[in-house]
């Protein structure tokens, strides 16, 4: 209660919101996929501090690397030469195909996307940027312009030159998830599963062309897209949507930017980077969150050619490439390889998606289950026929009940209608079964009461 009072008095509770406000959770400690509150209750963490704890809370190997570096050198800025930054730059670049080889360090995803905006404009000499409905790209004044989710933006502060196009697969879209019943476990909705997907692709590409024709000048600076939308609710695109979009954007002089803040570092299971699942090659990739398992850090990777356009001044930020952050991030890459984290994401994620799809078929209030690896969305509806979003109080009841039974999940989607599951990527099938039992119970107790 004291902490809540402090929060009320010294932090603006209008903007810094507690997710479980009915009965808040006071987190004390974490280990791998588990969190403990101050009273010693254990929670299975399926939200990972918003898709951030990648290899596990306080992972022993990563913690050891952090402590080792903390004892040696905390900080000196990148105007000096020190090994953690250089070792990590080389290691990170080795995870990218050519020509994505030039690394910039930031402290967050917003900052990486700010930098990507600037870089794309300098490189192309153009100004306008296209983003997708439901996207989230950051909370800085500039990136709020990219973010097309009203809950997270103050339109008056930003958005100049940023245009939103409809995003495929949005809630109540003509295609939605219902045509893909048989194949809920693909990176991208595969056209072979339904003619509806192809129609949807044509329709959304048509809408993008409409945005080009009516909203933007003939030349643009960039297209920003998350390979699978995160905050938007694990929204996936029809097969070839990104491929065609990249082509149209490049025809108009723009560069293509993949925001891998949520999808990177093996989260989608099948690929290390989400963009690889779409068979596209971005010009700029931004990342943060999972990069350092929860330690504040972000990065941007681009081509030497684009980097050369961004060479008139100095790119400096005090903490970018901090020795401790780089030592941790380096250990995260090693750990992903040694623990088989990406494969686990694929295995447990596929299992969860399949089991959740069974619940979707059983319960009238689950409208769609989608995602890839451990980037999963469960979209809730009043009923399958209306496809109206499940009202906020019902969402909250299920959400809080799940927490009371020891599982933390997330919420998102344009209408707040999607439960989000993005755990530390070390969860097991047994954890998935525990969640499924809890979730089933939460759904049934809501349906009994309504």
Q: Which is nearer to ligand PMP, 269 or 298 (CB)?
A: 298
* Contacts (Cβ under 8 Å, ≥6 apart) of 15: none
Residues 398-427 that bind ligand PMP (CB under 6 A): none
CB burial of residue 9 (10 Å; 0-12, 13-18, 19+) = exposed
Q: How far is the CB of 362 from ligand PMP (least distance, A)?
A: 31
Binding residue for ligand PMP (CB under 6 A) from 33, 69, 78, 108? 108
Query: Which of these ranges, 40-48, 223-231, 411-419, 438-446, lies near ligand PMP under the rule CB under 6 A?
Result: 223-231
136 belongs to the binding site for ligand PMP (CB under 6 A): yes
288 belongs to the binding site for ligand PMP (CB under 6 A): yes
261 belongs to the binding site for ligand PMP (CB under 6 A): yes
Binding residue for ligand PMP (CB under 6 A) from 45, 226, 355, 379? 226
278 belongs to the binding site for ligand PMP (CB under 6 A): no
377 belongs to the binding site for ligand PMP (CB under 6 A): no
Residue 143 CA to residue 288 CA, distance in Å, equals 14
Q: How far is the CB of 202 from ligand PMP (least distance, A)?
A: 26
What's 442's DSSP letter? H
224 belongs to the binding site for ligand PMP (CB under 6 A): no
262 belongs to the binding site for ligand PMP (CB under 6 A): yes
45 belongs to the binding site for ligand PMP (CB under 6 A): no
**Which residues does residue 285 pair with via DSSP β-bridges, in sequence order?**
258, 301
Binding residue for ligand PMP (CB under 6 A) from 30, 49, 84, 109? 109
Residue 399 CA to residue 319 CA, distance in Å, equals 37
CB burial of residue 340 (10 Å; 0-12, 13-18, 19+) = middle
Residue 339 CA to residue 345 CA, distance in Å, equals 11
Which phi and psi (to 5°) does residue 241 adopt?
A: -60, -50
Q: How far is the CB of 416 from ligand PMP (least distance, A)?
A: 15
Q: How far is the CB of 68 from ligand PMP (least distance, A)?
A: 25
110 belongs to the binding site for ligand PMP (CB under 6 A): yes
Which phi and psi (to 5°) does residue 259 adopt?
A: -90, 105
- Strand 255-259 vs strand 34-37: parallel, antiparallel, or unpaired? unpaired
Please, are residues 250 and 121 in contact by the beta-carbon 8 Å criterion?
no
Q: Which of 5, 50, 19 lies closest to 399 in space, CA to CA? A: 19
Binding residue for ligand PMP (CB under 6 A) from 27, 50, 73, 191? 50
Q: Which is nearer to ligand PMP, 100 or 288 (CB)?
A: 288
Q: What is the CA radius of gyration of the chain?
A: 21
78 belongs to the binding site for ligand PMP (CB under 6 A): no
138 belongs to the binding site for ligand PMP (CB under 6 A): yes
Query: Which of these ranges, 26-34, 136-144, 182-190, 268-276, lies near ligand PMP under the rule CB under 6 A?
Result: 136-144
Residue 152 CA to residue 144 CA, distance in Å, equals 7
158 belongs to the binding site for ligand PMP (CB under 6 A): no
Residue 361 CA to residue 368 CA, distance in Å, equals 9
Please, are residues 223 and 256 in contact by the beta-carbon 8 Å criterion?
yes
* Contacts (Cβ under 8 Å, ≥6 apart) of 153: 144, 145, 147, 159
Binding residue for ligand PMP (CB under 6 A) from 144, 167, 205, 231? 231
134 belongs to the binding site for ligand PMP (CB under 6 A): no
Q: Which is nearer to ligand PMP, 134 or 173 (CB)?
A: 134
CB burial of residue 97 (10 Å; 0-12, 13-18, 19+) = exposed
How many residues lie near ligand PMP (CB under 6 A)? 16
Cis status of the peptide bond prior to 99, with omega within 30 of 0: yes
Query: Which of these ranges, 118-126, 224-232, 244-252, 356-364, lies near ligand PMP under the rule CB under 6 A?
Result: 224-232
The full length of the chain comes to 450
Query: Which of these ranges, 19-27, 80-88, 254-262, 322-330, lies near ligand PMP under the rule CB under 6 A?
Result: 254-262
Residues in contact with ligand PMP by CB under 6 A are 50, 108-110, 113, 136-139, 226, 230-231, 259, 261-262, 288
């Amino acid at each position: 209660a004291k902490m809540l009072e402090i929060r009320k008095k010294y932090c603006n509770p209008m903007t810094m919101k507690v997710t479980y406000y009915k009965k808040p959770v006071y987190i004390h400690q974490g280990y791998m996929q588990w969190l403990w509150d101050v009273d010693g209750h254990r929670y299975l963490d399926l939200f990972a501090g918003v898709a951030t704890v990648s290899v596990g809370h306080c992972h022993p190997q990563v913690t050891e690397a952090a402590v080792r570096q903390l004892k040696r050198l905390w900080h000196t800025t990148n105007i000096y030469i020190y090994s953690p930054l250089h070792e990590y730059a080389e290691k990170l670049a080795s995870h990218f195909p050519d020509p994505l080889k030039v690394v910039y360090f930031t402290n967050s995803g917003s900052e990486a996307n700010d930098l990507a905006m600037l870089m794309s404009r300098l490189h192309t000499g153009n100004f306008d940027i296209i983003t997708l409905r439901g996207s989230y790209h950051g909370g800085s004044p500039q990136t709020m312009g990219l973010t097309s989710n009203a809950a997270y933006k103050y339109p008056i502060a930003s958005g100049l030159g940023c245009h939103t196009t409809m995003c495929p697969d949005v809630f109540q879209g003509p295609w939605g998830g219902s045509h893909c019943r048989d194949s809920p476990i693909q990176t991208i909705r595969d056209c072979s599963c339904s003619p509806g997907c192809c129609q949807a692709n044509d329709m959304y590409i048509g809408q993008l062309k409409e945005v080009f024709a009516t909203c933007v000048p003939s030349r643009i600076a960039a297209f920003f897209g998350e390979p699978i939308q995160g905050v938007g609710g694990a929204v996936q695109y029809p097969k070839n949507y990104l491929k065609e979009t990249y082509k149209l954007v490049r025809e108009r002089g723009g560069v293509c930017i993949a925001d891998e803040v949520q999808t990177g570092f093996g989260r989608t299971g099948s690929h290390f980077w989400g963009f690889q699942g779409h068979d596209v090659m971005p010009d700029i990739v931004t990342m943060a969150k999972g990069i350092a398992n929860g330690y504040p850090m972000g990065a941007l990777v681009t081509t030497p050619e684009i980097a050369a356009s961004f060479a008139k001044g100095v790119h400096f930020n005090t903490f970018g490439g901090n020795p401790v952050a780089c030592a941790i991030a380096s250990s995260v890459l090693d750990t992903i390889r040694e623990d088989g984290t990406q494969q686990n994401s694929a295995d447990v994620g596929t299992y969860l998606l399949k089991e959740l799809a069974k619940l979707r078929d059983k319960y009238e209030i689950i409208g769609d289950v989608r995602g890839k690896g451990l980037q999963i969305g469960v979209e809730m509806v009043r009923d399958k026929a209306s496809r109206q979003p499940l009202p906020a109080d019902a969402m909250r009841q299920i959400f809080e009940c799940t927490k009371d039974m020891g599982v933390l999940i997330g919420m998102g989607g344009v209408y707040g209608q999607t439960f989000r599951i993005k755990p530390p990527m070390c969860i097991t099938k047994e954890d998935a079964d525990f969640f499924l039992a809890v979730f089933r119970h939460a759904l049934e107790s809501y349906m009994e009461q309504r």
